[in-house]
Amino acid sequence: MSPEAAAPPPATGVIRLLTTAGGRVLCLAGEVDATSVDAFVRRYGREPMPVEGIDAGSVTRLSMPALDLVLDHLAVAERTGRPVRVRRSPTVERLLADADAAAQVPQNVRYAPKSSGAGSA
């Protein structure tokens, strides 16, 4: 088996933790799949970090592992009593609405205005 064949496929989505003037923000963009989540976990570790915000306004697809990652970060914020502002794309909004209906979204979530689409600021 060649080294190229053993390498995981390139991630089409991005997940990063950014430190901003307003605090730490979990940023997700593009097609966030299980490969993107694995890359995030290798870089930052498995434990959710305390965040002041989640920016998913540029997400075009969110896999179940990625949704679990977002919900885990929201749950940590709820346990510590921290409100979290969430910027979401229409894709993320649908998934969070489904999770909210299943009582998985913590009560501390404050939604930012909806994105007008991928790439909007």
**pLDDT tens column, 35-79:** 999 999 999 999 998 899 999 999 999 999 999 999 999 889 888
**Tokens encoding 20:** 């901003």
CA 52 to each of CA 2, 11, 35, 64, 91: distance values in angstroms, whole numbers, following the listed order: 43, 26, 25, 22, 21
For residue 2, pLDDT beyond 90: no
Fold assignment, 10-111: Transcription Regulator spoIIAA (3.30.750)
